[in-house]
Amino acid sequence: MAVSITNYGTNNRIGATKTKSATISYTDIGDGATTLLTATAYEMFDLPKDAFVKAVRVRIDTAFDSVTTATVSVGDAGSTTRFISAVDAKATAGTVYASATTGYKYTAADTLDVQFALTGATTTGAVTVICDYTDLNEKFMSI
């Protein structure tokens, strides 16, 4: 899967909010016909132990044109819908869905995962997943 991943806000400030985003196109999850890998949880990016997730968002960049169903969920190994559950990927481009769960702390390293449910031929569609978090394991330096 050729997913474009970008890290924003990663800087040297201890306790700073870090933002990671990944854009996923319909071509990243299947052949655009009937062989769509929708039961797969795609690992988008790593979250370190003691990551404190502040917010997760899904932005529809290009509406999916699946004949019947097109939804996207965002979670992790513990729950595939921890942050976002089956939002409409056929929504108008520019639509943004925000996580229902905020303030989640990871006690072990994990990945932020995206899962699609697409029914019917799909010839277009793209979403961007955005995650804001703080690494609580960063140590303060004394001067």
Q: Is residue 65 part of a domain?
A: yes
- State residue 11's pLDDT score: 47
Where does residue 103 fall: left (phi above 0), alpha (psi -120 to 50 degrees), or beta otherwise?
left
For 81-131, how does the pLDDT look when each residue is reduced to its tens digit (9 = 90+)?
Answer: 999 999 999 999 999 999 988 889 999 999 999 998 888 778 899 999 999
Q: Is residue 52 part of a domain?
A: yes
Q: Is residue 22 part of a domain?
A: yes
**CA dist., res. 79 & res. 7, Å (int):** 24
Q: Is residue 10 part of a domain?
A: no
- State residue 37's pLDDT score: 56
**CA dist., res. 81 & res. 143, Å (int):** 43
Q: Is residue 97 part of a domain?
A: yes
For 42-82, how does the pLDDT look when each residue is reduced to its tens digit (9 = 90+)?
Answer: 888 899 999 999 999 999 999 999 878 889 999 999 999 99
- State residue 140's pLDDT score: 56
CATH number of the domain where residue 103 is located: 2.60.120
Q: Is residue 141 part of a domain?
A: no
* Domain tally, the chain: 1
Q: Is residue 11 part of a domain?
A: no
Q: Which domain holds residue 45?
A: 16-135
Identify which of 136, 130, 140 has the alpha carbon closest to the alpha carbon of residue 8: 130
For 4-50, how does the pLDDT look when each residue is reduced to its tens digit (9 = 90+)?
Answer: 555 544 444 567 889 999 999 888 876 544 455 566 788 888 999 99
